[in-house]
Chains A and B, each alone.
Chain A
């Protein structure tokens, strides 16, 4: 018996270095990783440019040198060296060295203060890292904003398609409603525009009222969602997919026919108020609210409706209320994502919210994994990164990405991280080293 449980000696020696590294890394809490990345971006700010020049790169690599590797193969060694020297090694070193301190700090934060203080500290560190990383170039900031907006959009679609088990195709429509609603409000109230005339309120007030216009855009999307939610009482699955698809096309061509918002030419002049902190705060609120929504009573009712509607209603779940609340809630966030999108670019046009957008969002949701907030974040960020990195391929990008997605769907049909959730409480816990190098989250030990 004992001999079988122990792996062969050969395997131990072969895996020993890897296992050692793994056990070393497992001692680092999230706080330690955040400290490491924060210090890394500080280092990049200080020595990134001279180092890049010394390695033969013309500027600091935008996206971890990935695009340089595609366009100029001769520079691959320099790009790899840059990534190792600036990102990987400092992060690992700082995270590992600060692990004891970070563990103690994380424990103190949890013991002395309520959970949200610890959460805010982590989020603040994360935002600081992101902000400093984005400080290097405007391109990085734009890239980060798009990732955050995709996360909002993907999460809200996951509510309907994952947790509630429908196949809704209407998300580009909700996004368009939110984008046009919020844009019309900001342009009408705060901008001197040819069509909408002089601003009704002093423009200096604008940035403070911006959240309200976003909420208004989200509410407009929610009202639009009634068109899809009410038929969903009588039907589900395939016919609802068609209804939602029809809704998307209706919204798109209605906007094309509305001359006041520019029709097919698009709508411009939006003030670019959606800067990185704004987008980040909205994304954090969205993740928090959707995370809580899925764990609430109505979130559980939503899953019951997905698994068996008849059984759920027999168990006194109000299926109509569940459906309508979920649809309106998801549409609200899609609308907010649209409003942010409009105020990042400063121009929107109806063809943005068409079939290609639909393919993109659906791919993000199903690639990331259904019924998982973490999965959606991973799917949105992963696909956005892939699309950005492969941009030098130009036309062939749209062959490579779909082929990659097809292979991924065939290998993992349920997506990367499906039906599993990381609990925020567990994430914030310090890690403690136990005997024999095995590591346990101390929260579970208690």
Chain B
């Protein structure tokens, strides 16, 4: 591998890693605050991508009527904001239906309802919209910039930049605001916190909503980078992001993002150095090795008596 291909792949890995990182944040938040595996999250990413597709197609059609001048960049911004808002409602609905009734029972039951809601979302999408693949409307013309031998496109820069921005924003939200403090308190103790007047149900819904909004952003970025949508797109990428989220350590937002980027790097570089079919074997083997020697992830607390199923 020459230095040029290395840097080229570095850029590609950053883009792939930002999808994983954004999705992993949602898993990590739900896991950190509620100690639950949100197995629906990969499919919420898919729902977010579809909502983004419909919002942007609608806005493009509206703009072509010529009543209001809507430049493409404004459509993109509106799409991202609207899709994040709508998808966060989907996430809250999932929490209300599948997770809230099961609070206080063995957590594995909630994992089953999560899995089942995911299947309902996939099949529902297939039944409602048919098996036809949708292509995401192209809102910004892809422009390549030559940095020496490395080609960087404006979409890649935008995706990586916005993903990092959203990650940092979430980190600041959890660190600095009162809501974030309530979340951290809930992650620390589930029994005493409601006695202090923290509304558990609202915080749980907020956690799901925030995670889903980020998944929607990831879905739109995914649609911009690879403009083909299908109902099962959340399956593969979702499970990988889930593994990344846990690898980051419980309750660590930056850890989850870091693990997401790491996964992106492993996958891209395995595909360049070896065959691309070996990608999953090597990526998961590395994760398995890391977890064998560091069972609590990058930034998680070590296993102790009270952190137990």
Q: Could you tell me how many residues of chain A have their Cβ less than 8 Å away from some Cβ of chain B?
A: 47
**Given contacts A234-B295, A243-B288, A413-B109, A406 and B281 within 8 Å (CB-CB):** no
Indicate if B117 sits at the interface (CB-CB under 8 A). yes
- Which B residues are CB-close (under 8 A) to A163? none
**Given contacts A161-B108, A355-B235, A406-B113, A231 and B291 within 8 Å (CB-CB):** yes
Chain B 274-305 interface mask (CB, 8 Å, partner A; 1/0): 01011111001101100110011100000101
**A-B residue pairs in contact (CB < 8 Å), sample of 19:** A165-B309, A167-B108, A230-B292, A231-B291, A231-B295, A234-B295, A239-B303, A242-B247, A245-B243, A257-B277, A355-B239, A362-B111, A362-B112, A366-B112, A398-B120, A402-B116, A406-B113, A406-B116, A410-B101
- Which B residues are CB-close (under 8 A) to A355? 235, 239
Chain A contacts with B in 317-372, Cβ cutoff 8 A: 355, 359, 362-363, 366-367, 370
Q: Are A406 and B117 interface neighbours, CB within 8 A?
A: yes
**Which of the residues A238, A250, A367 comes within 8 Å of B246, measured between beta carbons?**
A238
Chain B 226-258 interface mask (CB, 8 Å, partner A; 1/0): 000000000100010011001100100000000
- Which B residues are CB-close (under 8 A) to A239? 246, 291, 295-297, 303
Q: Are A238 and B115 interface neighbours, CB within 8 A?
A: no
**Given contacts A249-B284, A402-B120, A409 and B112 within 8 Å (CB-CB):** yes
Indicate if B102 sits at the interface (CB-CB under 8 A). yes
- Which A residues are CB-close (under 8 A) to B31? 238
Indicate if A42 sits at the interface (CB-CB under 8 A). no
B120 to chain A: closest CB distance in Å?
Answer: 5
Q: Are A250 and B288 interface neighbours, CB within 8 A?
A: yes
Q: Are A413 and B106 interface neighbours, CB within 8 A?
A: yes
Closest to A396 in B: B127
- Which B residues are CB-close (under 8 A) to A413? 102, 105-106, 109
- Which A residues are CB-close (under 8 A) to B154? none
- Which B residues are CB-close (under 8 A) to A269? none
Q: Are B123 and A398 interface neighbours, CB within 8 A?
A: yes
- Which B residues are CB-close (under 8 A) to A309? 308
How many inter-chain residue pairs (CB < 8 Å) link A and B?
141
- Which B residues are CB-close (under 8 A) to A396? 123, 127
- Which B residues are CB-close (under 8 A) to A395? 123, 126-127
- Which B residues are CB-close (under 8 A) to A398? 119-120, 122-123
- Between B108, B119, B246, B285, the greatest number of chain A beta carbons within 10 A of the residue's beta carbon is seen for B108
- Which B residues are CB-close (under 8 A) to A250? 280-281, 284-285, 288
Closest to B31 in A: A238
B36 to chain A: closest CB distance in Å?
Answer: 10
**Which of the residues A241, A246, A409 comes within 8 Å of B284, measured between beta carbons?**
A246
- Which A residues are CB-close (under 8 A) to B296? 235, 239
Q: Are B116 and A253 interface neighbours, CB within 8 A?
A: no
Give CA–CA (A242, B242) in the complex, Å: 9
Q: Are B307 and A237 interface neighbours, CB within 8 A?
A: yes
Chain A 219-240 interface mask (CB, 8 Å, partner B; 1/0): 0000000010011001111110
- Which B residues are CB-close (under 8 A) to A165? 309
- Which B residues are CB-close (under 8 A) to A310? 305
- A399-B124, A409-B113, A414-B106 given; name 8 further pairs at CB < 8 Å: A234-B295, A239-B296, A242-B291, A250-B285, A250-B288, A257-B278, A309-B308, A395-B127
Indicate if A254 sits at the interface (CB-CB under 8 A). yes
Give CA–CA (A245, B238) in the complex, Å: 13
**Given contacts A236-B303, A410-B101, A363 and B115 within 8 Å (CB-CB):** yes
- Between B37, B113, B127, B243, the greatest number of chain A beta carbons within 10 A of the residue's beta carbon is seen for B113
B250 to chain A: closest CB distance in Å?
Answer: 8
- Which B residues are CB-close (under 8 A) to A403? 116, 120
Indicate if A180 sits at the interface (CB-CB under 8 A). no
- Which A residues are CB-close (under 8 A) to B102? 409-410, 413
- Which B residues are CB-close (under 8 A) to A406? 97-98, 113, 116-117, 120
A441 to chain B: closest CB distance in Å?
Answer: 31
In the A-B complex, the 4 residue pairs with the smallest Cβ-Cβ separation, listed nearest first, are: A235-B295, A237-B309, A402-B116, A413-B105
Q: Are A359 and B105 interface neighbours, CB within 8 A?
A: no
Chain B contacts with A in 85-108, Cβ cutoff 8 A: 97-98, 101-102, 105-106, 108
Give CA–CA (A359, B37) in the complex, Å: 14
Closest to B240 in A: A249
